[in-house]
């Protein structure tokens, strides 16, 4: 099975940088997703890490360490619209189901 | 990217009635669709995996007779909540895998908010 841990809530200031951590335990691993979900809306895809290291995509970057069972999502130059929940999700491989963490609710304040 | 639609976006029904939610992949074929349920301030919980032309695979604790899933074509899956009760009120989200795209990427629909009175 899989177990995913994320902080429940975080607050950060507009224009700042915030790092959202995700730790996991899993019997099988193929990759790790990060999704953004605004209240009342469906999740939207942010990133998918398969190999160790940092992947940068604009203001968002995602890091993975498979040996440590650890990932983080880094948001730079925070904007008010970044206030949302950020979901870490595990893909065990192949066509198996993706397991979602409980999500981190990020509040960006002026 | 691939687009997934859901209908209706919002539904209110009386206790005891049945509600059907449609999930469509608009510009791609999806052999596999997933149905999730999300309660307020909680994460997505997978209810079932829907495969075109075969029976759905339900997660533990999800009643297959209460949540009927039909995946009759490569672009449409339906979830019917039978004899709905207030505790079934939730946000229902479907997702679909592109075929023959990346086996791991899922595209989510916009969700259906169900309120049972």
C-beta atoms of A40 and B110 within 8 A: no
Task: Give the N- to C-terminal CA distance of chain A in Å, as an integer.
Answer: 40
Residue identified by tokens 């495969």 is: B51
- HEC readout, chain A: CEEEECCCEEEEECCCCEEEEEEEEECCCCEEEEEEECCCCCCEEEEEECCCEEEEECCEEEEEECCCCEEEEEECCCCHHHCEEEEEEEECCCCCCCEECCCEEEEEEC
Instruction: Give me the pLDDT at residue B91, please.
Output: 94
> A30 CB near a chain B CB, below 8 Å?
yes
- Considering only alpha carbons, which residue of chain A is nearest residue B92? A42
Selected for mutation to probe chain B from A7, A20, A29, A43 (highest B CB count within 10 Å) is: A43
Listed residue (B101, B52, B93, B31) closest to A35, CA to CA: B93
Contacts of B105 in chain A (CB under 8 A): 45, 48
C-alpha to C-alpha distance for A34 and A101, rounded to whole angstroms: 10
Model confidence band, residue A74 (pLDDT cutoffs 50, 70, 90) = very high
Report how far apart the first and last C-alpha atoms of chain B are (Å, whole number): 37
What is the mean predicted confidence (pLDDT) over A2-17? 94
Q: What is the pLDDT of residue B53?
A: 80
Cα–Cα distance measured from residue A69 to residue A87, given in angstroms and rounded to the nearest whole number = 16
Q: Is B30 buried (19+), middle (13-18) or exposed (0-12) by CB count in 10 A?
A: buried
Shortest CA gap A29–chain B (Å): 12
pLDDT of residue A95: 59
**Could you tell me which of B46, B12, B8 has the C-alpha nearest to residue B24?**
B8
Question: pLDDT tens-digit profile of A19-69?
Answer: 999 999 988 887 899 999 998 888 888 998 999 999 998 999 999 999 999
Between A15 and B100, residue with greater pLDDT = A15
A44–B42 CB contact, under 8 Å: no
Contacts of A45 (CB under 8 A, 6+ apart): A33, A35, B1, B105, B106, B107
Going by C-beta distance under 8 Å and a sequence separation of 6 or more, which residues neighbour residue B65? Answer: B82
pLDDT at A104 (0 to 100): 96
CA distance B87 to chain A (A): 18
Instruction: With H, G, I as helix, E, B as strand and everything else as coil, classify residue B16.
Output: coil
The tens place of each residue's pLDDT in chain B, 117 residues long, gives 678 999 999 999 999 999 999 999 998 888 889 999 998 878 889 999 988 888 899 999 999 999 999 988 889 999 999 999 999 999 999 998 876 555 567 788 999 999 999
Chain B residues close to A31, C-beta within 8 Å: 104
**Gap between the Cα atoms of A89 and A34, Å rounded:** 6
Nearest CA in chain B to A30: B104
| Average model confidence (pLDDT) across chain A | 92
The residue among A101, A102, A80 whose CA lies nearest residue A11 is A80
Whether the CB of B114 is below 8 Å from some CB of chain A: the reply is no
Among A29, A79, A19, which Cα is nearest to A6's? A19
A–B interface: beta-carbon pairs under 8 A: 46
């Amino acid at each position: 099975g899989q177990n995913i841990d994320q902080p429940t809530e975080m607050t950060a200031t507009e224009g700042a940088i915030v790092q959202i951590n995700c730790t996991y335990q899993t019997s099988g691993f193929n990759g790790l997703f990060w999704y953004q979900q605004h209240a009342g809306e469906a999740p939207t895809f942010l990133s998918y890490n398969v190999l160790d290291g940092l992947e940068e995509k604009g203001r968002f970057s995602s890091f993975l360490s498979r040996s440590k069972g650890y990932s983080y999502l880094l948001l730079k130059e925070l904007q008010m619209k970044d206030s949302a929940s950020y979901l870490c999700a595990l893909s065990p491989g192949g066509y198996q189901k993706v397991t979602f963490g409980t999500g981190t609710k990020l509040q960006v304040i002026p | 990217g691939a687009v997934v639609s859901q209908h209706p976006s919002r539904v209110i029904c009386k206790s005891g009635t049945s509600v059907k939610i449609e999930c469509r992949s608009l510009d791609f074929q999806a052999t596999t669709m997933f149905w999730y349920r999300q309660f307020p301030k909680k994460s997505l919980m997978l209810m079932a995996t829907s495969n075109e032309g075969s029976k759905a695979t339900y997660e533990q604790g999800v009643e297959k007779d209460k949540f009927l899933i039909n995946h009759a074509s490569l672009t449409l899956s339906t979830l019917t909540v039978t004899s709905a009760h207030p505790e079934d009120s939730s946000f229902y989200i479907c997702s679909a895998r592109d075929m023959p795209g990346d086996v791991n990427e899922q595209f989510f629909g916009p969700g259906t908010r169900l309120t049972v009175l």
